[in-house]
Structure formats: structure tokens, C-alpha cells
Amino acid sequence: MSSQTIVHRYAEARSLSWRPLLVRALGPLTVLSGLVWAVLQPYRVTLLHPYGQPFWWLAVEPPLLVVLVGVAFHVFVARPLIDDFER
């Protein structure tokens, strides 16, 4: 590796502030919290025992919604915002 490449990568690593790192971490942390919630309170996920439940009761589960919001935030909000931070 040339010294210019190392200096350039070091400068990129140093230029990252806490804001892009925080925005980048919000989506995965939200998904992780939804998964932890689903594990800690499995009775909330009625997909495990769907007897006599209508479709919307099965499809709209609070832990599953938290996971979907985390994924949507990461894809549709965080990535464009990080691109703006880098410019």
C-alpha cells in the first residue's frame, strides 16, 4: 500500500462524526429491539398460535411492526441522509 492511500483512509476514518454513526446505527438497533421484544414476549406474536385469529390480527403484530419500521428507516431514511452527510 502506498502512504497516500493510508493517509486518505485515515482521513476518511477521522472525518466521521457522531451524527452519521448514530443515524447509521438507529435502523439496526430498532430491528434488534423488535427481535428482542418478540423473544421476551412471545405471546405478543400470534403467528405462533393463530387459531381463530383474523388476518389483520396476525399481520399487524407490534414486534413485527418495530422490525419493519427499523428496516424501512435504514433503507429509506438513513442511507440518503448518510449520503447527504458525506457530501
- pLDDT, tens digit (0-9, with 9 covering 90-100), for 14-46: 556 888 889 999 999 999 999 999 999 887 777
Report how far residue 57's alpha carbon sits from residue 50's, in angstroms, rounded to the nearest whole number.
Answer: 9
**Each residue of 27-56: b (16+ CB within 10 Å) or e?**
beebbeebeebbeeeeeebbeeeeeeeeee
What pLDDT is stored for residue 57 in this prediction? 74
More confident residue, 55 or 28: 28
Residues whose CB falls within 8 Å of the CB of residue 24, separated by 6 or more in sequence, listed in order: 78, 82
- pLDDT band per the 50, 70, 90 thresholds, residue 62: confident
Mean confidence (pLDDT) of the chain: 81
